[in-house]
């Protein structure tokens, strides 16, 4: 029997029978291969996600990969059988932000797979076919399940616009941080520093292309051209800004707790720092990610430490929040 996870309300979930929803015009039905769990899924389960960014009851799952099984009217039949990943934001396509390619800022309001729309912690997922990104036929779908967080980092990398020969750095050594290392390495930097709190991430950071690894309590440089922050704390944001040369470029991807002390505006102005932020991934970042993955520039598999069935959803949520350094990316397999 096909099943799906449903979070009825914070702290309450059920495993229910799943009936695929037939694709309507412009839609595709995808057989889910794997769905990843991240901190935002834990927020949904615990009830910590901000109002307006979740709608209960809900099937979670915004990180996923799968294979197209059926398509609705107006969708090319050639999609059937293709391996795919998909964008999460259900944008309107007609507002000025959507026309500018900034679909994560859609003026019609926030709608996203796995948060306000049914997600991929189920046997199948039906969604607008325009959100799909087709992968190579020989790709590893387990690895591809991590392309959603990779796409968020791709958005940061595109904003950072690191040039060959520049000094670059990543602050944070989680899933996002390790993808940031890979994207920055692809731009042929002169130096690639990773700053974290866990020394056990040094080997993986260097395997992905880092030329230096330091913990935040070590002496740090102040002449870096580009920094991508992925740790999601006010402390990490301040450390990131401190790494930069005057006129350097900073991209923040982490979301600290509300009310956190921010960057010093005087420091930003006096040193003329260029600061960008990222919330989700627009289409160009997804396309960039799919190309990089297809070209072999991204290697997500070393980040996966656990693959569990849907029935172990509560255990998966516990693992993600355990703080155990042996826990990396946790996937659920329908």
The whole-model pTM stands at 0.95
Task: Show pLDDT as tens, one digit a residue, over the chain (334 residues).
Answer: 799 999 999 999 999 999 999 999 999 999 999 999 999 999 999 999 988 999 999 999 999 999 999 999 999 999 999 999 999 999 999 999 999 999 999 999 999 999 999 999 999 999 999 999 999 999 999 999 999 999 999 999 999 999 999 999 999 999 999 999 999 999 999 999 999 998 999 999 999 999 999 999 999 999 999 999 999 888 999 999 999 999 999 999 988 877 778 789 999 999 999 999 999 999 999 999 999 999 999 999 999 999 999 999 999 999 998 888 899 999 999 9
Q: Kindly list the distances between the CA atom of residue 145 and the CA atoms of 91, 189, 269, 278, in Å, as whole numbers in the listed order.
A: 22, 28, 40, 20
How far apart are alpha carbons 61 and 37 in whole angstroms?
A: 7
Give the side-chain half-sphere CA count within 13 A for 180: 35
- The pLDDT value given to residue 256: 80
User: Six-digit token pair at 213?
Assistant: 């690894």
User: Six-digit token pair at 120?
Assistant: 């991929």
- The pLDDT value given to residue 125: 98
- The pLDDT value given to residue 259: 74
How far apart are alpha carbons 201 and 123 in whole angstroms?
A: 34
């Amino acid at each position: 029997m096909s099943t799906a996870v449903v979070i009825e309300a914070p702290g309450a979930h059920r495993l229910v029978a799943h009936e695929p929803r037939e694709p309507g015009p412009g839609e595709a039905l995808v057989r889910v291969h794997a769905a990843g769990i991240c901190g935002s899924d834990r927020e949904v389960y615990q009830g910590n996600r901000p109002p307006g960014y979740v709608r209960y009851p809900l099937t979670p799952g915004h990180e996923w990969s799968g294979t197209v099984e059926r398509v609705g009217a107006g969708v090319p039949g050639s999609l059937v059988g293709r391996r795919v990943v998909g964008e999460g934001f259900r944008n309107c396509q007609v507002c000025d932000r959507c026309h500018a390619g900034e679909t994560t800022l859609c003026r019609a309001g926030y709608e996203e797979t796995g948060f306000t729309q049914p997600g991929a912690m189920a046997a199948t997922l039906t969604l607008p076919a325009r959100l799909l990104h087709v992968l190579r036929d020989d790709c590893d779908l387990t690895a591809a399940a991590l392309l959603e967080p990779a796409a968020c980092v791709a958005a940061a990398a595109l904003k950072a616009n690191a040039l060959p020969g520049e000094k670059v750095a990543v602050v944070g050594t989680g899933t996002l941080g390790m993808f940031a290392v890979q994207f920055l390495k692809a731009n042929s930097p002169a130096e690639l520093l990773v700053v974290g709190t866990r020394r056990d991430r040094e080997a993986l950071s260097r395997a992905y292309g880092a030329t230096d690894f330091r913990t935040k309590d070590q002496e740090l440089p102040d002449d870096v051209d580009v920094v991508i922050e992925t740790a999601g704390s006010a402390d990490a944001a301040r450390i990131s800004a401190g790494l930069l040369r005057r006129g350097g470029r900073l991209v923040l991807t982490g979301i600290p707790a509300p009310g956190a002390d921010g960057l010093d505006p005087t420091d930003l102005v006096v040193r003329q720092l260029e600061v960008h932020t990222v919330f989700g991934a627009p289409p160009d970042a997804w396309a960039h990610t799919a190309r990089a993955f297809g070209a072999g520039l991204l290697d997500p598999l070393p980040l996966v430490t656990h693959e569990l069935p849907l029935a172990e959803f509560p255990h998966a949520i516990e693992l993600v929040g355990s703080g155990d350094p042996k826990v990396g990316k946790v996937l659920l397999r329908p």
